[in-house]
Chain A
Amino acid sequence: MGPRLAFPWLAALILLCLVGNTLVAAGPVVEQEKVTYRLKWLINASTAGDVFALDQGFLSRQGLEVAVKAGGPERDAVRELELGYAQFGVASADQVIRALAKGASVVVLAQLFQVNPLQWIYRADDFSLSRIQDLAGRTVGITYGGNDETIMRALLATVGMNEHQVRLASVRYDYTPFFRNQVPIWPVYRNTQGIFLSDKLAAEGERVAFFDPFEHGVRFVANSIVTSKKMIDLHPQTVGRFTRALLAGWQAAMSPANENAVIRAVTKYDRDTSEAVMRRQLAATRQMIQPDPDIPIGHIDITAWRQTEQIMIQQRLIPGPVNVIGRLEPQQAP
């Protein structure tokens, strides 16, 4: 082999050694599996565990490259699962039950909120709502078609009241009717809007209180992690890894010791909420994600799911039973 021929071989050998060295230094290369996770709403304190799991590498350590996508009023995770745009999502129980009633193949992997954050805010100095009957004759805000309508009707039904005994007022995202006291009982997400509205009213010297359906026996399940039946059948390992990593993320995010890191992670997406407000939102979220330390994060409350299905049947939101219990497939806790 002449010097002309030997040179390219030598160069290739050196290059190979360099690349090999770099690979050894980087450790074993694990190919990341790409999945999409569609949230139910915009990123805020209610999604702290989701963004924290992504930010702190809980998901990537499980070999998952997850695109966490914010939700919104026109986003529907269950539809995206079926269309293949997402592999995992967050959906409320009523969404899951409606989808099952129409033949969708959706499976619940974990229940994020043990207490539904949907509550009604009112001015504590004006009146008190200690019983459901205290709503009689008052104007109560509901979003027609939303799950607050379903919950309010269920509440009224539990004490034999009907919508003629309260004045139901249609509400949207504009709080003006509440600020003007035209609709004094207003539906809010207790851990996010509830904090913001409390602050607004406190600035005017007004105290607020919350009417919580959970305290009056209505356990209507809120957000849960869902996937498709096809996903769980074809990729059970991925489903297991995803759920475990996500719940581990939630577990860590709900620890007060990690509060600063959680706020940093959420602030990357939610720049409009001040740090002080977010701290209080997180504190309220903790109470709803894990109200009882003995119950693990992600626990599926079967009684609550059964009650949610019953409420929807009674209100004719679905034509008949869908056996939602059969679609609850809790994954192994982290």
Chain B
Amino acid sequence: MLHRRVFQFFIVYLLGIGLLFGIKLALNLSDYVIPGPTGVWHTGQAEFSRYMGDVLDTFAVAVIGQVLSILMALGVGVAGRRATWFGSFIKVAAYNVQAYPIVAIAPILFILLGDGFLTRLFIAAMICYFPLLLSVIGIMSEPVVDIEHFYRVTGRMRWQLEVKIRAFENLHKLTTVISGSATLAMAGTIVAEFIAANAGIGYSIRIALYQSDLSKILVALFIIGITLSLYQGILELLGAGLKKAWAAG
């Protein structure tokens, strides 16, 4: 699973960069518009370790943000799963709050919270929280009738059991959503860094843009992509392992 993810990423990256080089060649563009392969290679050699540090910095914030958002989404999703007034209120609130683009609120957050760790974490968590919440609400609101019916008629149904049944029956969906939200968390952190932070790969990309240096951006994209692919692969492995252990137990 892990090696497949990495392999797929390599294919996508090489196709993308190959397309760029193809355009450069076809239109006879200078290295200022699209850098050549040697330029990208040399930049990679010069900047790899620094950018790797930046990506890991961003990644750490993204993972913490993602964990927080998973916990929040599970909490609110479980509370909002019922067809009660409160449940429907939670759903409406989630749909409405999602309508506000977080990047529009980001500058206000930076003014209030400063341009450090907290703001990046908050934005990362908020960007991946809402899609997660909607998926969790969707999964948790859908009864698994065959199984739940038995516990209901025997009077043994408790809310914890209900959540457990629905989570287990939709574990594959949940794993996919959580794995996908890693991308959102990373993108959220990068956007936050790009807007106002003073650390992380988003900040470095911004500096590279100021310097009109596309080579640096291509190197940064490579490291971001490979890191995310590894992380998503690991999440999927964990999901598969969890399902196995749960089924055995």
The interface of chain A, by Cβ under 8 A from chain B, is 73-74, 76, 78-79, 82-83, 95, 98-99, 102-105, 143-146, 170, 172, 174, 176, 317
Task: Out of B27, B33, B39, B209, name the residue touching A104 (CB < 8 Å).
Answer: B33
Residue of B nearest to A79 (CB): B33
What is the minimal beta-carbon distance from A225 to any residue of chain B, in angstroms? 18
Does chain A have a CB within 8 A of B31? yes
Q: Is there contact, CB below 8 Å, between A76 and B210?
A: no
Q: Is there contact, CB below 8 Å, between A98 and B33?
A: no
15 further A-B contacts with Cβ under 8 Å, apart from A73-B209, A170-B198, are A74-B209, A78-B32, A79-B32, A82-B33, A83-B33, A95-B212, A98-B211, A102-B31, A102-B35, A103-B30, A103-B31, A104-B30, A144-B207, A145-B207, A174-B111
CA distance A176 to B114 in the complex (A): 10
Most-contacted residue by chain A among B29, B32, B206, B210 (CB, 10 A): B32
Number of chain B residues close to chain A: CB under 8 A: 21
Q: Is there contact, CB below 8 Å, between A143 and B32?
A: no
Determine chain A's interface SS by DSSP, over half rule. Answer: loop
Q: How many A-B residue pairs have C-beta atoms within 8 angstroms? Tell me.
A: 54
Most-contacted residue by chain A among B31, B207, B212 (CB, 10 A): B212
Q: Is there contact, CB below 8 Å, between B111 and A98?
A: no
What is the minimal beta-carbon distance from A145 to any residue of chain B, in angstroms? 3
Q: Is there contact, CB below 8 Å, between A82 and B209?
A: no
CA distance A146 to B209 in the complex (A): 9
Q: Is there contact, CB below 8 Å, between A145 and B30?
A: no
Q: Is there contact, CB below 8 Å, between B33 and A174?
A: no
Q: Is there contact, CB below 8 Å, between A176 and B111?
A: yes
Task: Out of A73, A82, A170, A172, name the residue touching B32 (CB < 8 Å).
Answer: A82
Set of chain A residues within 8 Å of B212, measured between Cβ atoms: 76, 78-79, 95, 98-99
Residue of A nearest to B213 (CB): A98
Q: Is there contact, CB below 8 Å, between A82 and B110?
A: no
Q: Is there contact, CB below 8 Å, between A98 and B32?
A: yes
Q: Is there contact, CB below 8 Å, between B207 and A82?
A: no
What is the minimal beta-carbon distance from A318 to any residue of chain B, in angstroms? 10
Sort A-B residue pairs by CB-CB distance and give the 8 closest, nearest first. A145-B207, A145-B210, A102-B32, A102-B31, A103-B30, A104-B32, A104-B30, A99-B32
